[in-house]
Each structure stands twice: as C-alpha cells, then as structure tokens.
C-alpha cells in the first residue's frame, strides 16, 4: 500500500524544515499546497482576475501580479473575505495534488514495467485485503509516533476509509500488476513511492482524505507568535491575526497521527522525523 504523509501545522511551527529534510535526506517527492496556491494566482489566471474584480486594481502590483501583502491585510482581518478567497483557490489546489500523485505513480509503474505504460488494473481479491485492526493504537501527542505495541500493524488504507466514511479515496483495491506477477490469492503490488503532501490547511480545507498518515509540526502558541513576528517582521497584533485565521495548533495536534514537537532545537526536531519515518514505514 502506498504511503502518503500529510504534513501540516501552524504558521511558523516548522513545516518547511520538516519537508525539506524529508526531501533531502530520504529523497521523497514533496508537493506543497503553498506552491499550488501561488500558481493559482499567477498573472493572467482566472482566479487573479476574480480577485481583481472583487477588490479593484489596487490589489495588483505594478507588474499586474498580486499584491500579497495588501491582500493579506484584508483576509487576515475578515473571515468572510478569507472564506471567499479559499473557495477560489482550494479547488485548484486539490486538482493539482491529484494530478501530481497520479503522475508520480504512473511514472513509477512505467519504470517498473521497463518504461511501458501501466497495464489495465485487475481487481485484487477482497479476501487478500488485510482486515481492519480491531483497535486503533493509542497515539502520543508529543514528540513522535503512535504509542501502543500494535502500532506497526495499523492499516493506512483503513485509516483513509475511516476518514472518508468508507471511501478509500486515492488508495484503491485496484492495482496495476506486472505481467505474470498476479495470481488468484496472491497480492504482490507494485511498490509506489512514499509521497509528502505539505498542506497548511489540511484540516480546514477538508483534505484529510489525501494522506494515509497525518504529521503535525507543533510548537506552543507563545513560541509560534515570537517566531512569526521575528520571521515576517510583524507586530504582535498582525501575528495574532494570522495565527487566529487557522485552526488552533493544539486541536491540530490532537487530530494528528504524528506530532513533531518543534519547541526546542532543529536537531531535536529532525530526530523525531527520523524516528517517525522509520517506525511507521
């Protein structure tokens, strides 16, 4: 089964540090919602035209690109404007994630088949599917992986199904099998690459169906405020408005499969990443 890590957290809690490390140290494909959101409002895009129509040409810079600072002043102080903007951008981001996952997996299957395109899928016999674990292991809320001795037997496909009310989402019972490797009662699938989806608004945008496990980069709110003010040169009021525009970091941590505590050193954070990645592999 394919492993898809959904990395989220709050503003200035360490998501970029974690995603960069997963990419450089483990050579994982990383897809970032912020990158897609910037694509969505490029010059000439329908979404940028809609933004300019709503707020006027003053929302644009001299080169006709989006004045992000001016838009930020609006949406971080107006929930209704923020909701409108998200309704424009989120569908585009969802589509780009789906395209990226499909493209990556198609290329992996083609490489396994010697460069040939994927063969038509064959239905995996339902009897070969692993049963849902009788009980989901207790999960620690700070600094690492799920607790419980049975954690390594947790079925990520069932995790997606549980989040989707029975829908397995992007992970399907149908797989592409190399010729001669699929027989009745034998479930030997092509190994698809582990992916990382960086989605700051994973919970807020209802994108929890995409990953098979959810990682939250965490630090206490006061430390988050201090880091955001220093990083973006913001006042206390500006930093608070940006943090308050997202779900509370404590609630995100409570919903996570893995919580990475970034309240200490970078080295300590990356040690937790290694532990979580290897333990849940």
Of 18-22, 126-130, 270-274, the least confident? 126-130
Model pLDDT for residues 84-101, shown as the tens digit of each residue: 999 999 999 999 999 999
CA 173 from chain centre, in angstroms, equals: 22
pLDDT mean over 247-265: 97
Q: With 50 as the cut, is the pLDDT of residue 261 above it?
A: yes
Q: With 90 as the cut, is the pLDDT of residue 186 above it?
A: no
pLDDT mean over 241-269: 96
Dig out the tokens for 84 from the structure. Answer: 């409108």
pLDDT computed for residue 280 by the predictor: 77
pLDDT computed for residue 115 by the predictor: 65
Q: What is the share, in percent, of the chain residues with pLDDT greater than 90?
A: 68
**Bridge-based pairing state of the strands 4-9 and 195-198:** parallel
Closest CA to 214 of 3, 1, 2, 5: 5
Model pLDDT for residues 27-49, shown as the tens digit of each residue: 999 999 999 999 999 999 999 99
Q: Tell me the angle at which helices 46-55 and 68-75 cross, rounded to the nearest 10 degrees.
A: 60
Round the average pLDDT of the chain to a whole number and report it. 81
pLDDT computed for residue 117 by the predictor: 56
Closest CA to 65 of 81, 78, 49: 49
pLDDT computed for residue 114 by the predictor: 76
Model pLDDT for residues 133-178, shown as the tens digit of each residue: 223 333 443 455 443 323 332 344 444 445 545 544 443 333 333 3
pLDDT mean over 117-130: 42
Radius of gyration in angstroms for the set of CA atoms belonging to the chain, rounded to a whole number: 21
pLDDT band at 209 (very low <50, low <70, confident <90, very high): very high
pLDDT mean over 256-263: 97
Q: Which residue has the higher pLDDT, 218 or 147?
A: 218
pLDDT band at 189 (very low <50, low <70, confident <90, very high): low
């Amino acid at each position: 089964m394919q492993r898809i890590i959904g990395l989220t957290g709050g503003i200035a809690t360490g998501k970029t540090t974690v995603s960069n490390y997963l990419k450089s140290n483990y050579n994982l494909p990383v897809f970032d919602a912020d990158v897609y959101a910037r694509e969505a409002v490029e010059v000439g895009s329908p979404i940028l035209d809609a933004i300019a129509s709503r707020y006027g040409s003053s929302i644009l810079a001299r080169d006709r690109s989006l004045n992000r600072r001016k838009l930020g002043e609006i949406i971080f102080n107006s929930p209704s404007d923020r909701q409108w903007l998200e309704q424009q951008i989120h569908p585009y981001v969802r589509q780009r994630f789906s395209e990226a996952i499909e493209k990556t997996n198609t290329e992996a299957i083609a490489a396994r088949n010697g460069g040939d395109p994927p063969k038509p899928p064959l239905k995996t016999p339902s009897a070969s599917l692993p049963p849902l674990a009788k009980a989901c292991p207790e999960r620690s809320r700070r600094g690492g992986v799920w607790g419980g001795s049975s954690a390594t037997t947790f079925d990520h496909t069932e995790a997606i199904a549980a989040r989707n009310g029975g829908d397995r989402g992007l992970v399907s019972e149908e797989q592409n099998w190399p010729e001669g490797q699929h027989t009745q009662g034998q479930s030997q699938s092509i190994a698809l690459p582990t992916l990382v989806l960086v989605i700051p608004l994973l919970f807020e945008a209802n994108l929890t169906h995409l990953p098979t496990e959810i990682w939250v980069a965490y630090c206490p709110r006061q430390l988050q405020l201090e880091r955001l003010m220093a990083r973006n040169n913001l006042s206390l009021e500006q930093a608070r408005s940006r943090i308050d525009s997202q779900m509370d970091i404590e609630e995100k941590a409570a919903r996570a499969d893995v919580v990475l505590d970034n309240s200490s050193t970078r080295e300590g954070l990356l040690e937790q990443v290694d532990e979580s990645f290897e333990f849940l592999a």
